[in-house]
Amino acid sequence: MGEYDDIVERLQTIEEDLRDRAYDQLRSAASASDPDAQDAAKAQEKKLLQARRGIEKAIRALGDVRAHAD
């Protein structure tokens, strides 16, 4: 077990939460009849996607650290 495993696990949980919330925003955009509401939901989804990508990058970086430590 690596020294960063606990951080990686927490980041994975956050990444899953961001993915779920982004999916919810896409669902909201698809079901909204108001174009402004659709645009707002799509904008929120993009922000969540950007945050999720950052978290994924951190997970990969820490995974590399763990791999080199073994």
Q: In this predicted model, what pLDDT tens digit does every residue of 21-55 receive, in sequence order?
A: 999 999 999 999 999 999 999 999 999 999 999 99
What separation in angstroms does the CA of 27 have from each of 36, 40, 48, 61, 68? 15, 12, 14, 31, 41
Return the H-helix or E-strand segment holding 39: helix 35-69
Pick the more confident residue, 27 or 69.
Answer: 27
Domain extent, residue 16, equals: 5-69
Number of structural domains in the chain: 1
Mean pLDDT of 62-69: 66
What pLDDT, on the 0 to 100 scale, is given for residue 1? 54
Q: Alpha-carbon distance 26 to 29, whole Å?
A: 5
